[in-house]
Amino acid sequence: MDILKKIQDHREDQKKLKWEGTFADYLDLLKERPYLAQSAHSRVYNMIKHKGVTEREDGVKTYSFFSDALYGLDEALERLVEEYFHPAARRLDVKKRILLLMGPVSGGKSTLVALLKRGLEEYTLTDEGAVYAIKGCPMHEDPLHLIPPHLRSDFEEQYGVKIEGSLSPLNTMRLEKEYDGRIEDVMVERIFFSEDKRTGIGTFSPSDPKSQDIADLTGSIDFSTIAEYGSESDPRAYRFDGELNKANRGIMEFQEMLKCDEKFLWHLLSLTQEGNFKAGRFALISADELIVAHTNESEYRSFIANKKNEALHSRMIVMPVPYNLRLSEEERIYEKMIKESDIKDVHIAPHTLRVAAMFTVLSRLKESNRGSISLLKKMYLYDGQNVEGYSDADVLEMKKEYADEGMSGIDPRYVINRISSTIIKKEMTSINALDVLRSLKDGLDSHASISKDDKERYLNFISIARKEYDEIAKKEVQKAFVYSYEESARTLMENYLDNVEAYCNKTKLHDPLTGEEMHPDEKLMRSIEEQIGISENAKKAFREEILIRISAYARKGKKFNYQSHERLREAIQKKLFADLKDVVKITTSSKTPDEQQLKKINEVVATLIDEYGYNSTSANELLRYVGSLLNR
């Protein structure tokens, strides 16, 4: 569809959503849809729920609202929603607190707030998130404030809606002068949140405390109108255009809040606790808004160390937003950042971003108190992978060891900056894992905030990631060398399973060609089991476990296949690879390959391109590198 047509259709859709009527008309709407009267906190919570909630196998809730932009923060987001937004939506005491997101740089705090703001803009376009306000009010005030205090208990009994807040000075005057006190005639309109239009979403960023005016927060007197209205205390002579005014009914982002001058912060005490703030020469002005701020840990520690900040600190709910600690999610973060950049057309060889993610996740982990587990194993466990000797219960225990795990380490921007730097400096059109690891290593020298001790640790993590890549690269090439790899693997597995079944049931096998009875092939079974370190003593238990798994699949009507048992699959792969190692070694390292070898290399390159996502350059680089590894 033509873009101008889409713009026109959008404009028409917006027109259809508009609504205007009297307060009496609004009450009719409220009878049918009581949820229209929800508070700002309730609106945010319902907006998140509206997109969908699922539960992971480990019991952690995941929210679709965040899933396309924030990766690997499921636990932190569940805590945020269930410990802040949910109780605040139910009018519990946390509603009277500033939400302070605390975490390391580039950890997702700003993205989270931006998501909430963009989400509210979209949500107010829906029926469930519709917002109505007194028409012409600069603070888009809740029409229910028109109900006199002495009638509010009756209103709650009749409509099931609790009213909080008082009518603003401006609307109090308008009610008398424009409507002659007839509340039912006051005009009400539907509004749509927009940060650009300063409706329901406000953003305050501190600047020079000597020049920044409190009016940026609370509005100011319009001196050009004083002659007309005769007094500075006339609400018509006041501009209700501060960020707190404009964010009413929605969300107010306080950027770098802890760097603010004290005079700006004290206004928040009354707003959070009592739901009002002081502006001009008026009584307290009611405001219903979610205040969210973000900071890093060092600023937060300095803030709470200052005794003068105790009152404000007691009105904060601090939510840690750590770095992601899941390897596969870190890889998704890089994919997203690259897709949004100008380097998206550069070919990035498979596993490149995964290897970079290994380095960054390792830098964020803390050594477990369990001496037997390395950081590498811990990284794989956190990513949901099976590590022999450890269970889900062990993972939960490890996560409880450190409350601040993930609050330090290498940030995603560093990785993307290094990838960009490599591409731009060398004008590369294709990069691989070794290019990125080399660039990450070079960048440590110019990283001002990295101490000598940290640098040594990080160099060690680069070395670990390199070793992991060596194994990945060898497997990748060996897989490509196997003719009809999946078919070969299935055939070998079926053979192994036939022998295991005969061994466990103490029966014999029949030779398909001669019809002779044969004993189970112990040599074949051990050659596969030894690939994953199954000892002679443990072989019987392993084989019985395989049969139990096959039986369980059969009971559920499922077919046990090559992918059904992670460790058996690994053993089959390694056995095939071991049988092929010499062929791979000779073919990849030959400087003058013969015709047969050249044909094999071309087949492998074609497989790497067609099946595994390489291009011609990265496939040939991979073959040369693996050849050098196998010749060491």
**CA–CA separation, 394 and 401 (whole Å):** 11
**Structure pTM?**
0.82
**CA–CA separation, 161 and 149 (whole Å):** 14
Question: Hey, is 517 helix, strand or coil?
Answer: strand
* Domains recognised in the chain with CATH numbers: 18-320 (3.40.50.300), 327-469 (no CATH), 490-572 (no CATH)
Strand 276-277 with 285-286, pairing: antiparallel
Quick: pLDDT tens for 265-298: 777 888 888 888 888 778 888 999 999 998 888 8
Q: Which residues, other chains included, contact 429 with Cβ-Cβ below 8 Å and sequence gap of 6+?
A: 346, 347, 617
**CA–CA separation, 98 and 424 (whole Å):** 43
Quick: pLDDT tens for 456-513: 999 999 999 999 999 999 888 888 876 546 677 788 888 999 999 999 998 988 877 6
CA atoms 74, 76, 79, 80: torsion sign? negative
Q: What is the pLDDT of residue 100?
A: 92
Q: In what order do the strands lie in the sheet with 251-254?
A: 201-204, 251-254, 290-295, 98-102, 316-320
* 596-608: average pLDDT: 83
Quick: pLDDT tens for 531-547: 999 999 999 999 999 99
Per-residue pLDDT for 426 more than 80? no
